[in-house]
Amino acid sequence: MDDYPLLDVFLTMLWFFLWIMWLFLLFKVVADIFRDQELNGWWKALWLVFCIVLPYLGVLVYIIARGKGMGRRDVEQAKASEAAFKDYVRKAAGSAEGDGKASHVDELAKLADLKEKGALSEDEFQAAKQKLLA
């Protein structure tokens, strides 16, 4: 332990974490290059070669030149993902938002309430449920 003082351990860990952060940034830039719809294939290839051949300089120049668009694309992708998730949840829950119709889930809940209150017999409940699910 005397051969490797505590300060050297700290500096080694610092360099290691900085290297990991740089790798994350490199992957983010490469993903953004492929995600960008405004760039054609040749520009994407040039940026990619620049980031591979001169990685530190390539990433730094890309962030300076296209950083604002990179942030905008992140926001657009987040909004699209959120909209897709909400649409999926609406479809999975069976809601028919905006068309004035009650969902199948709501209708089944109403039928179950009527059955519990005694307004529907078991046969009537089953027939209404089959009609609703058909």
If 0-12 CB within 10 Å is exposed, 13-18 middle and 19+ buried, where does residue 92 land? exposed
Return per-residue pLDDT of the chain as tens, 134 residues.
568 888 899 999 999 999 999 999 999 999 999 999 999 999 999 999 999 999 999 999 999 999 899 999 999 999 999 999 998 888 887 654 444 455 777 888 888 888 888 888 888 888 888 888 87
Is the Cβ–Cβ distance between 34 and 20 less than 8 Å?
no
Domain ranges of the chain: 1-93, 98-134
